[in-house]
Structure 1
């Protein structure tokens, strides 16, 4: 994986699964050791953005579940 802002999609446009899968690839590449410090930093920054995207998706899903729960509990007899 080469980190280039031109080749990679905008993090904000990724689904949870896409962001998670790319984050796994970024972490694997960081663990292997990037050829330059600049490349390592670019990977780290992309990884941080991807992790935030995943967290945003999960928080949104949790919020939706919490909103749906009172409605469904109120309809039980």
Structure 2
């Protein structure tokens, strides 16, 4: 169940990022609001990229074996607060 929560966390962050991109591309926003959205978008982008890198490493661990056999090994993932909890204001 923890894996599902992590996947949902990634999906939520990615959806937020998509909404931010749409707003920045389609609306005439004040400079301050645009900057705030841009900063949030960068933070979400980094968060999503980190999660994708973690998944990639896990896949490499599953697929790697000297004999070509799939093998799994423990994979430690760092716990991070959800994207909405990191906001500095």
TM-score normalised to structure 2 length: 0.62
Structure 2 CA distance for partners of 1:31 and 1:58, relative to 1, 3 Å? same
The secondary structure found in structure 2 opposite 1:44 is helix
* Unmatched segments (≥5 aa) in structure 2: 1-7, 72-89
Which structure's relative contact order is higher, taking Cα pairs within 8 Å and 6+ residues apart? 1
The structure 1 segments of at least 4 consecutive aligned residues displaced by more than 2 Å after TM superposition are none
The structure where helix makes up a greater share of residues is: 1
* Unmatched segments (≥5 aa) in structure 1: 1-13
Query: Shift in Å at residue 53 of structure 1?
Result: 0.8
Aligned length: 62
Matched with 1:53 is 47
How large is the Cα RMSD of the aligned pairs? 2.0
